[in-house]
Chain A
Amino acid sequence: MSEQMNRRRFLTVLGVTGGGAAAVSACGSDAQRTQKLIPYLIQPEEQVPGTATWYATTCRECTAGCGLHAKVREGRVIKLEGNPESPINAGRLCARGQAALEGVYNPDRVTDPLARNAGGELEKITWDDALARVKAQVKAARGKGIAFVTGNESGAFGDLVGEWTRAVGGAHVSYEPFAFEALREGNRLAFGTSAVPWYDLANAKYILSFGADFLDTWLSPVAYQSAFTRAHAFAAGRAVPMAKAVFVGPRMFLTGMNADEWVAAAPGTEGLLALALAGVIVRERLAPVPADAGRLRDLLARHTAEAVAAVAGVDAAAIERLAREFAGARGGVAVAGGMAAHYPNGAEVVAAVNILNYVAGTVGKLVRFGPNEGLEGSGSFKQMADLAADMQRGKLALLFVHGANPGHSLSGAFWEGWAKVGYKVSFSPYLDETASAADLVLPDLHPLEQWSDSRPRAGVWALQQPVMQPVFPNARHAGDVLLDLAGKSQTFKDYLQARWRPLHARYAHGKTFDEFWAEALQHGGVYTDAPAQAVRLGPQAGDLMRGAPAAPAFDGGAGDPVLIVFPSPVLHDGRGANKPWLQELPDPVSKLTWHAWVELHPETAAKWSVVDGDFLVLQSPFGAVRAPVWITPAVRPDVLALPTGQGHKAYGRYARDRSCNAFDLLSGAANAYGGRTFVVRVSPRKTGEHRFLATSAGDSRDLGPGEEIIRVLPLAQAAKLTPGAHPFAEREAPAYAEGALAGWAEAQRAKASLGNYAGRQPRWAMAIDLTKCTGCSACVTACYAENNLATVGEEQMLRHRQMSWMRIERYWRGGEGGAPVRGVVTPMLCQQCELAPCEPVCPVFAAYHTPDGLNGQVYNRCVGTRYCANNCPYKVRYFNWHNFAEPGGAWEAWPSPLDWQLNPDVTVREKGVMEKCTFCVQRIRGAQNQARLEDRTVLDGEIVPACAQSCPSEAIVFGDLHDKTSRVAQLSEDPRGYHVFETLNTKPGITYLARVLHGEEA
């Protein structure tokens, strides 16, 4: 980038800018370039230029299957929001789901079918040619081994693949790198069913998570986050007290940060702890234990608190206390998964936690079998490992890959086998590792462009419809391709509709199929209640964990530290890595972007004398990676942690050659329960190399606990607060200044008659409940999507030049002198101050105060003195250091067709101007205009900024402070409310409600 200067560029600069005054003005002319207006000569029906059309569809970024509302402007989808009708996500959407837009508009999509030519290069061919080749290959490979690998497909497409593969004599393997095999197997061990139930966190009074990072990556993160915050929110005078949350595991995930207590058990001992808790409950008769639990007597007797305490590194007293709290809450629920399900004994851990739930009487109440997760079709790692073995033995002649990228998540054996497969066909829309090594690439449509369906949960049939014409018209739906190969004349839509006929028969209530179909499309699917299933303790439940309590053995050298490979909350198994929004979205815990890292406890770092950014080579028995160190109190001292997601060797410009691939360290063999083991011992080696880590947080040396910014209240104290009490109220102005301030306010009111400031105007304001906010960062991506925020890339991130109007600040507290380590988070955005420090210092009135209380920013007027940003104590103003919109420029944020995503209601900013959060002023004006057309006032809750709209925990409430009945006005009066930097007398429009914590300390 900037530092690279060659002769040509040097001369270009001199030539372009050196021509005198006229040329100087040309520097800024990119944004003002003449562009052609193309009239809608033939206007499509139902399309009003300037008015958005919304389509309901389903998110396919993970297996959760959240309902989507796609906002389409002039034929282009520009924003994804949750479908409020979907029982999964109820209108909310995570960052990954929203970033699907950057998948559909990805500049590295495959536009045409590609085939490997004689020179070994992929070159474009026609569809006729491509289909002919596939047909020929299928014919030739019949009987010699055909396999079709897909991702988790719970709907019609999976059925079609299954049918077709069977017809040609092949095998259909479903492969997800994180497929929850341990959950299914653990449930089978404990209850004899491999279904994954719905955990009713919303009605829980005590939530005990054994490794399950349900706020980020576990099963259905949006649904569980929403449910968690319902139970874990604080509301004064609520009948049910705020639930306590405890997280057990060697690394504190986002869920651990949001829990009231973190129990840093040794890796692999979570199941022992669960059994010890169950033992205490049974022994002390803390709960009405079901009769058949007697079969567990031996098992529980072996796992006493004392015996487990030594292995797990947790106090026996603490185990007993947890057991009493859990049972005493009369409504506690324990969940297991995530890291705890990634050990070699993962299934047993899950089974042990099931037993804990069972003896506490939770199963059937809060652990509900019936509305099970739609994971039946998601296969297991064993199937994939077997396939890889078959490939190695040369037993496969033809391989199809769709919706999976085993080339990234499997190493060694898979690639050895790959070379021995006769012909490889990929349906990937991107040239990922697998596709770029295939012989034939048949680009599929993006899920937003295609018909399909899925069944994320029993009773939920989610429908997917194309929300726009394909971005690349020569890509083709894989379903259509398969039907063509099968020699059928129908389209995949026909096939899909045929599959929906039985549903019509069951749920149409007398409507015709077309009516039923149209309705289902409108609602995003068909939602019914699944009948509850009763489960009893399974026959094998008592046979768990034979022998004395012990942690499982991990692969690798005996004395080496244990490394946990965990799914990145942002990039997941790596599928998010080609989306710049996700690359630039700080990890909710580490706050690092654009790179992977290995987590080290400060004690370990001191022992090894490494600092943040020092590279370590981690050598496991299966491979090695080079990763920079990130020091954090959120892991156990004897544990390292490394996220997946980076280290792609292909997959487009944003993903390729970026950091290391954590999968390289893992064994390619399935473990006892058919899953993959994500924990391995590694021998670390220092390299002497160093890299600055691109983080959204400032210098870690100066970070501190953020006490001025995030206020915390112990539950006992919060419960005592009465309306009108203001524990955080600080005197905003000294007494002697009050007279002067009153006089000044009066003078301002007189001056206000000059404009329209005097009339009755709303005062837009926001209330953010920090007890609800989990720091999941969905709002951050929502802001990027809504407000055309540029992604700046790693080098600019290193200079802290990110454009993130909404940032999630994370501070660590405690950790010294035995105090528990705690991560606290808060969203920080423009506070829309009433007495804004940014406004008076702007020499050109680019920063000004609107009559409805916003701190306006006129991009066209801004000359870029940056004085406003200096004077903003919240530091929420962002400067355009480069022209991020310049086509072909070195800092281009939206290479075509990513620019199709830009919101036409929001200006794309030029280099040299300041920008900031506007409370989504375009949405405010839109709602006001709508209200004016309908001759009414704007209703409370009608205006929802993008951040509030996406928030899965509904932590953000927006509205008019002058309307005393509005929710925001009521929340602003909450005794927990406070303003950040209140003493500066800026009178912010944002009221934060203090985080409430179980426990003594604040």
Chain B
Amino acid sequence: MAQPTTAPPERATGPLTYDYVTRAIARTLGNPGRGYYVLLGSAVTLLGIGIVCLLFLLRYGMGMAGYSMPTYWAIYITCFVFWVGIAHSGTLISAILYLFRSGWRTAVYRVAEVMTVFAVMTAGLFPLIHIGRQWFFYWLLPYPNERGLWPNFKSPLIWDEFAVGTYFTVSACFLIMGLIPDIAAVRDVATGWRRKLYAITSLGWRGTNEQWRHYRPAYLYLAALATPLVLSVHSVVSWDFAMAQVPAWHETLFAPYFVAGAIYSGCAMVITLLVPMRKLFQLEKIVTVHHFENLSKLCLLTGMIVCYAYVIENYVAWYGGPTPERDAFWYRAFGRFWWAGWTMNICNAFLPWLLWFKKVRTNITALFVISIFVNVGMWMERFVIIAVHLAGEPFEPYVRAGYNATWADWGIMAGSFGWFFMWFLLFVKNFPAVSVAEVKEELPAPRRAAARHA
């Protein structure tokens, strides 16, 4: 096992140095402790549970999950939208903030980006899991075939497939692109099989002037390419709903509402992941309270947009007139799923008001707690939109029915968390979870001690 460095990080009191950054970050790749294996083991166990549940689903049909007419979509699509939403802050932090030259992003963007790629990988599984005949999933893809059959490009599900596919491709490229100089940095200190792995994955990076000269514009170009995706992906996902005529789905508001919600949940998830990681890897000096405050400001902004969207949604339902729309929102608030509706309102629309206070924004514990609530709330928001509004389908009162999820729903959802955290944990132990190169960009260039004395 390679050990890039074993030296404890010096408790530097002065400004960060290049050396400290390299060593502190490389140290995260050191021998994993027992805690790491426990975490990884739990993630793999969850994944295993999910796989077993999925096998039951495949063998016995979608009826193993809790669906009931008219709740034709439920936990799986909720998870799909949830994970796509999580994926959003990554690109926002890495691409948009890069274009705006926000220096603070350097400490957190790698985690956000990794989260993005793995969250999209997780999200992408759900449409395949939830369809009735999973073994024909490839019929959704436009591939040439002897029957001359193409998918229906009018269907929002096909748009979705393209949007999520594109987003995955671009964000994966962007992640790898940013990783190259860092991998090269750890390659130089690694030994054994890791050295070989890094030698291959660093794509021959030597850090020459020539390479940097090409690298910077390419990175900028990718950032520019990824930026519109931040807005487009979740807009398209929202159209899965907004293009249908189900009351409380059929809203022009949905695209911005979903994008804001996605960034909101993504930022919350970054906080949720960073707080323990920073602690475990002792990166307090690199990822500071300042970074958290900025993240929480982003949360505050998007949270306010989400809160506004909730208000407007209800207002339009009341003001707009068509009674099915009104019935739908009445059902959300006072129907049999009132608890889901109010959980969503409290977690997403009321709690972020706390972030107006600097004391809260700079309190890591408070932020962690709020971020968990926002994660729960955002999951609940998707559940409310999808399962609750289908169950309370206001056109056809005769079919309005309850909905009870089963072990197959919860098992596969747990499996998705296992899948996500498994990849995340494997990543942070094998690749630098904080950008070595870019953090250094924000530091003053090192000088020789002698020169300083002179």
Contact = CB atoms under 8 A, between A and B. Distances in A.
B397 A799 contact: no
A76 to B, nearest CB: 28
A629 to B, nearest CB: 18
Given A2-B63, A843-B140, A800 B73 contact: no
B132 A911 contact: yes
A701 B401 CA distance: 10
Interface stretch (A90-98, A128-136, A192-200, A859-867): A859-867
A879 B127 CA distance: 17
A16 B72 CA distance: 27
B432 to A, nearest CB: 35
Contacts of A828: 396, 398
A984 interface: yes
B398 A703 contact: yes
Interface string B66-82: 11111011000000000
A912 interface: yes
Interface stretch (B86-94, B176-184, B258-266, B387-395): B387-395
Interface string A265-298: 0000000000000000000000000000000000
Contacts of B39: none
B139 interface: yes
A912 B62 contact: yes
A841 interface: yes
B402 to A, nearest CB: 6
B136 interface: yes
A143 to B, nearest CB: 61
Interface in B237-267: 240, 243-246
A581 B383 CA distance: 35
Given A14-B55, A28-B135, A841 B156 contact: yes
A867 B63 contact: no
A137 interface: no
Interface string A900-914: 000000000011111
Contacts of B276: none
B244 A843 contact: no
A844 B152 contact: yes
Contact of B61 (A811, A863, A871, A911): A911
B155 interface: yes
A811 B397 CA distance: 10
A704 B152 CA distance: 37
B41 interface: no
Contacts, number: 199
Given A14-B52, A880-B61, A882-B61, A840 B152 contact: yes
A913 B393 CA distance: 22
B68 A837 contact: no
B207 interface: no
Contact of A841 (B64, B155, B398): B155
A864 B395 contact: no
A990 interface: no
Contacts of B67: 799, 801, 879, 881
B393 A875 contact: yes
A880 B336 CA distance: 26
A863 B397 contact: no
Nearest to A878: B69
Contacts of B392: 702
B213 interface: no
Contacts of B56: 13, 17
Counting contact residues on chain A (CB < 8 A from B), the size range is: 35 or more
Contact of B139 (A27, A706, A844): A844
B96 interface: no
A870 B398 contact: no
Given A879-B72, A881-B62, A841 B157 contact: yes
A709 B134 CA distance: 36
A842 interface: yes
Contacts of B140: 843-844, 863
A865 B244 CA distance: 14
A890 interface: yes
A533 to B, nearest CB: 48
A800 B68 contact: yes
Contacts of B399: 698, 800, 875
A24 B134 contact: yes
A800 B401 contact: yes
A426 B396 CA distance: 49
Nearest to A692: B402
Contact of B400 (A702, A845, A870): A702
Contacts of B155: 840-843, 867
7 contacts: A709-B397, A861-B139, A875-B398, A881-B61, A881-B67, A891-B61, A912-B62
Interface of A: 2, 13-14, 16-18, 24-25, 27-28, 697-699, 701-704, 706, 708-709, 796, 799-802, 807, 809, 811, 828, 837, 840-845, 861-867, 869-871, 873-875, 878-883, 890-891, 910-914, 981, 983-984
Given A867-B244, A875-B70, A879-B67, 13 more contacts: A24-B135, A698-B400, A699-B401, A702-B392, A844-B152, A863-B132, A863-B139, A864-B132, A869-B70, A870-B72, A870-B390, A879-B62, A911-B63
